[in-house]
Amino acid sequence: MLDGGKRNVLGVLVDVVDYEAVLVRTIEAAIAGRPFTVSALAVHGVMSGRDPAQRRVLNNLDIVAPDGQPVRWGLNLLHRAGLAQTVRGSNLTLRLLEAAAESDVAVFFYGSRPEVLESLLTNIRSRFPGLTVAGSEPSKFRAVNSHEREAIVARIKSSGARLVFVGLGCPRQEVFVYELREELSMPLVAVGAAFDYLGGFLHQPPQRIQRAGLEWLWRLLLEPRRLWRRYVLLNPLYLAMLACQAIHVWTPAIEGSPPAAGRALDA
């Protein structure tokens, strides 16, 4: 198990962890019934930390796992982390579901579209027959008011869940788990596109594509209209900023700004 603590990557504190470390800490928190926040963060998520308020959110999560080779490369380049693998959101979800089934931890899925959730739950129940699915709820794809927020919290609590998977997309899902971490005394795990992958709406890239750090290209080919700005513009900027940090031209600050008071939660 590798759990080497947090390291500064462009101002975002990313954890030097492997799957086992995330798994053990998350399931322990679920069994103990205590708040715990996790995000599997790729380049887009790290770059979202350029916004000071979002950086504050990310740097107050319990675990920010390196999802994607470029983030792993960043940790190894900047901090000699020795990370041999990434922590992909979809793979992490599967491992956590297997552990939840073995530990009798009921799970809840929040986010995505109704048809994705329906397919996801069918596949999950078939793969993990001993797993207790306490409930699921699709995203509203908009900001919610205080009454709706309270209702979401109440539904998750009353479901009997002890572990929640959140698939709202970055950066909305990280804000969601950060904002609700104290109200829901259980782990909240932001897993990005895992719902789409495990529901069969996206196809996993071949291992050679993942090892080469080209999963972004795979996603771009699958969803060019939605993702072209993210990858064509952000990836080169990420590499340029990484180089500046590596040669000590720039030392990114890890402090962020408090979120704006009274802002609505995107759910």
Domain membership of residue 132 (yes or no) is yes
CA atoms within 13 A on the CB side of 211: 4
DSSP E strands in 112-211: the ranges are 133-137, 143-144, 163-167, 187-190
**Half-sphere exposure at residue 159, Cβ-oriented, CA atoms within 13 angstroms:** 24
User: Are the C-beta atoms of residues 53 and 85 closer than 8 Å to each other?
Assistant: no
pLDDT tens across 103-141, in order? 999 999 999 999 999 999 999 999 999 999 999 999 999
pLDDT reported for residue 21: 98
221 domain residue, yes or no? no
Assigned domain for 231 exists: no
Distance between first and last Cα of the chain: 34
Kindly tell me if the per-residue pLDDT of 260 is higher than 70: no
Residue 198 lies in a domain: yes
Tell me the whole-structure pTM to 2 decimals: 0.92
Determine how β-strand 187-190 pairs with β-strand 163-167: parallel
Q: Is the residue at 179 inside a domain?
A: yes
58 bridge partner residues: none
Tally of domains within the chain: 1
List helix spans (H) across 59-113.
69-79, 89-103
Residue 54 lies in a domain: yes
Q: What's residue 262's pLDDT? A: 58
For residue 208, the model assigns a pLDDT of 81
Instruction: Specify if 143 maps to a domain.
Output: yes
Which range of residues forms the domain containing residue 151? 3-204+251-259
Q: Is residue 213 part of a domain?
A: no
Cβ distance 109 to 165 under 8 Å? yes
Q: 36-41 and 187-190: which strand pairing?
A: parallel
What DSSP state is assigned to residue 32?
H
Average pLDDT on 5-25 reads 98
Buried b (16+ CB within 10 A) or exposed e, 237-257: ebeebbeebeeeeeeeebebe
Q: List Cβ neighbours of 165 (8 Å cut-off, separation of 6 or more).
A: 93, 96, 107, 108, 109, 110, 111, 189, 191, 194, 195
C-alpha separations of 251 from 11, 28, 79, 189 in Å: 8, 35, 13, 29
Q: Span 89-109, mean pLDDT? A: 97
Residues 12, 54, 205, CA angle at the centre, nearest 5°?
Answer: 65
